[in-house]
C-alpha cells in the first residue's frame, strides 16, 4: 500500500487540499499500477510561525 505524506505550511483551502490528494492518488495509480483504494495520502500542516526557510519564519516572509 503506497503512502504519501505532504508537508506544507497551513493556509490552503479544503478544496485545494482535496484536489492535490486526488491528483497524487491518480499519479500513484498510473505509475505503480495499484488500485486507488490502496493509496493513502496525508497532508501534514505546520503553522507559519513554526517553520522557517533560510532562518526566516514563514509568518515573516513576504508573500
The whole-angstrom distance between residue 37's C-alpha and the CA centroid of its chain comes to 18
Tell me the pTM: 0.87
* pLDDT recorded at residue 62: 79
Give dist(CA 18, CA 60) in Å, integer. 27
Q: How many Cβ atoms sit within 10 Å of the Cβ of residue 17? A: 15
Residue 24 has which C-alpha cell? 497524487
The CATH number that domain 3-60 falls under is 3.30.429.10
Q: What is the mean pLDDT of each run of 10 residues along the chain (63 residues)?
A: 96 97 98 97 97 94 78
- Quick one: 62 exposed, middle or buried, by C-beta within 10 A (0-12, 13-18, 19+)? exposed
Amino acid at each position: 500500500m503506497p503512502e504519501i505524506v505532504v508537508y506544507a505550511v497551513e493556509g490552503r483551502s479544503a478544496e485545494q487540499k482535496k484536489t492535490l490528494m486526488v491528483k497524487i492518488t491518480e499519479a500513484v495509480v498510473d505509475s505503480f499500477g495499484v488500485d486507488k483504494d490502496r493509496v493513502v495520502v496525508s497532508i501534514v500542516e505546520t503553522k507559519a510561525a513554526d517553520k522557517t526557510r533560510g532562518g526566516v519564519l514563514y509568518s515573516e516572509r513576504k508573500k
